[in-house]
A and B are shown apart, each in its own frame.
Chain A
Amino acid sequence: MLKTSKLLLLSVALLAATASFATAADAKKKVAFVPQLIGIPYFDAMKAGGTEAATKFGVEFIYTGPVDANPVDQLQIVQNLVNQGVDAVSVSVLDASSIAPVVEAAKAKHVTLFTSDSDAPKSGRAVYVAQATDEGLGFMIIDEMVKRVGPDAKIGIVSGEATASNLNAWIGFMQARVKDKYPKLKLLAPQFAGGTAQRAAQLATDIMAANPDLKGIIGVASSTCPGVAQAIETAGKIGKVIGTGYCSPNTARAYLKSGAFAYTVLWDPAELGYLTVWAGKQLIDGKPFEATATPEGMSHPVTYDAKTGILLLGEPAVFTAQNVDNYHF
């Protein structure tokens, strides 16, 4: 109850603020982004990118979201933004099944609702701004590994939960890449560590013991990265076994610097935030997305698939000891 009334109060205050602002700034268009939760480095990075784009493209950027990744709270926040008449609202969706009615309500109020970072494909959203494809992530980690160990090596895989569909999809694309492009590379069957660094370290240690000729280990779940890296450090195999994984620069920084990890693969959330606000501006201006375009201020082109309505940031980013300090998420 308290929460609702607080929210109400907040939205009234916001409404008042935006109303007075609108008259002052002569209808500067507003783009909002609602993350899954606020206060974590990943979404803070998206916010920073979005703010930069907003300055560049002359729109007002609103960043607000739930404090505890609660889908009901998130929906309420989105609803409030729609009611306020923000021109375009983007959401990193927590619950894909419950957002469709809000999309409808937004359309009725001529507010454009689109998704970013996490999609709700059947909701009728205007576009989905995607960070990377499963295929891109799977291929990239293998390609980068081959650059370092050659196409004729044995590589171990430590994953998280055996039921996690995104992790399994990445492993599937790793295996497909090896089969198509590097037939001599021996990818060991994935071992599943669940969520803990302790189990990941145990598995990585055992994989190295069982395969003295091992050249690399891939930590698929971000929770496995510290364990895999620590196992390589403890075994004294820095340089002999190349560690890597899908983990954020903050998680991997110490291991990239110690050499236990040679690189990690992920995307840059700041770029994703930038692209999100750019997409919002395009939608407000009624400009269609082109199949390939390079938004002003970005160093590489983004692609748009009209059939799926996905605007793709591009290739995943590779973080190494050299560039890791430029990122803070």
Chain B
Amino acid sequence: MSNPLDWFGRREALLAVACLAAVLLFSFLSPYFFNAENLSAVLSNSVELLLVGLGMTLLLGVGGIDVSVGVAMGLAAIAVGRLLQAGVTPAVAGLAGPVAGLLIGVGTGSVVVFGRIPAIVATLGLYGVYRAGIYLCLGGDWLSGLPIGLTELVGTGIAGVPLAFPIVALTYLALYVALRRTPFGPHLLAIGDSEAKARLSGVSVNRTQLLAFIISGGLTGLAASFYVATYRNVEMTIGGTLALEAIAAVVLGGTSVIGGRVSLIGTVLGVLLLRLLQNGLLLSGVPSLWQTVVTGLLLLFVLGIEAVQGRLSLTMLMRSKSGRLASRVAQ
């Protein structure tokens, strides 16, 4: 049995091959695909999904989920946008995103952890609450054409490298260290594998779960700052599909949808594959309606493989989680 924290396993290799295959295929299908301009557009379109996806990786790993991340990003984006409008320095406005995100993470996490409500139910409810919050904050009037300061700050970055790259890399590194070198990682997986057993083993379940929600919230808020920097706009419908896309990318990446296995690099590859497909299919002349069909089928295919390989069987989904292999918890 492979180590649940394996940083590059069979799934990751498969995804890397899939990304390469997609690049080759689309280079062949469209003369406009393989060039620096287009590929860097794909990368910069991936930033928010990468950040939110990395947070979602922890949540799925701990056996939770958060379907409200898109609207949570919307709320944080409103904070950033309003500060920009008020003429606050771009750096401060940019920091307001993660701060707002952390606060929302505390809120969401508290409802799930202390309310003892299943994460999917709680976050569905919060989705409605946050959506209404966006509506109340914007009052039907979008923030658009926001001051360009934050855009310039993020775009110029450090020594000409757009700020997104070091920030995503640092985020990845920090999460990697937290999962591999601190008790947070093993605790997270133990809870994801079996909450009851983890509790019996003396793992602080509440604290770990809450921490996962707070980290995810902070990353969602960070994504909000990038969103505002990129689009200089907060629309009423912001983040509508973000949660589903993030969950799809994370599951594609090999993180178990029922907890107990996480793969950060898998999430990164999953996001890249999704964005490469969306970009490549359009460039090859496939109508955008079919793009969602392709990504949906891909997801079913991957989950199908898992079921065949026995990693995720129907009985496993239905059976009490405590019956699962204890070796996955070992760390």
Contacts and interface: CB of A to CB of B under 8 A. Distances in A.
B140 A250 contact: no
Contacts of B288: 191-193, 203
Interface residues of B, number: 36
Contacts of B313: none
Interface stretch (A15-23, A168-176, A223-231): A223-231
A37 interface: yes
B32 A195 contact: no
A77 to B, nearest CB: 18
Contacts of A41: 140-141
A199 B49 CA distance: 12
B278 A202 contact: yes
Contacts of A254: 144-146, 232
Contacts of A206: 41, 278-279, 282-283
Nearest to A255: B145
B282 A230 contact: no
Given A198-B48, A203-B282, A253 B37 contact: no
Interface string A170-202: 000000000000000000010111111111011
Contacts of B239: 196
Interface string B145-160: 1100000000000000
Interface stretch (A53-61, A81-89, A139-147, A207-215): A207-215
Interface in B128-173: 139-142, 144-146
Contact of A205 (B30, B45, B144): B45
Given A191-B282, A203-B282, A210-B32, A39 B140 contact: yes
A277 B285 CA distance: 49
Interface in B202-239: 227, 230-233, 235-239
A234 B43 CA distance: 14
A187 to B, nearest CB: 14
B1 interface: no
A230 B283 CA distance: 19
Interface string A100-122: 00000000000000000000000
B287 interface: yes
Contact of A201 (B141, B142, B230, B289): B230
A192 B239 CA distance: 16
A207 B32 contact: no
B282 A210 contact: yes
Interface in B1-51: 30, 32-33, 37-38, 41, 45, 48
Contacts of B38: 209
B241 interface: yes
A253 B144 contact: yes
B32 A209 contact: yes
A41 B236 CA distance: 14
Interface in A236-279: 250-255, 257-258
A197 B41 contact: no
Contact of B235 (A40, A210, A223, A257): A223
B196 to A, nearest CB: 40
A167 to B, nearest CB: 14
A223 B30 CA distance: 29
B140 A37 contact: yes
Contacts of A199: 241
Q: Looking at B30, B144, B287, which has the most chain A CB atoms within 10 Å of its CB? A: B144
Contacts of B41: 205-206, 209
B240 interface: yes
A40 B142 CA distance: 10
A227 B231 CA distance: 6
Nearest to B281: A206
Given A226-B235, A230-B231, A230-B232, A194 B241 contact: yes
Contacts of A257: 145
B233 A192 contact: no
B237 A230 contact: no
A272 to B, nearest CB: 17
Nearest to A191: B288
B163 to A, nearest CB: 15
A210 B233 contact: no
A223 B32 contact: no
A250 B282 CA distance: 31
Interface in B49-103: none
A109 B140 CA distance: 35
A209 B282 CA distance: 10
Q: Looking at A191, A226, A251, A254, which has the most chain B CB atoms within 10 Å of its CB? A: A226
A253 B145 CA distance: 7
B241 A192 contact: no
B140 A40 contact: yes
A306 interface: no
A289 interface: no
13 contacts: A39-B139, A191-B282, A191-B288, A193-B288, A195-B240, A198-B48, A205-B45, A206-B278, A210-B283, A226-B232, A234-B230, A254-B232, A258-B145
Given A206-B282, A230-B233, A250-B142, 9 more contacts: A192-B289, A196-B241, A202-B278, A206-B41, A209-B32, A209-B41, A223-B236, A230-B231, A251-B144
Interface of B: 30, 32-33, 37-38, 41, 45, 48, 139-142, 144-146, 227, 230-233, 235-242, 278-279, 282-283, 285, 287-289
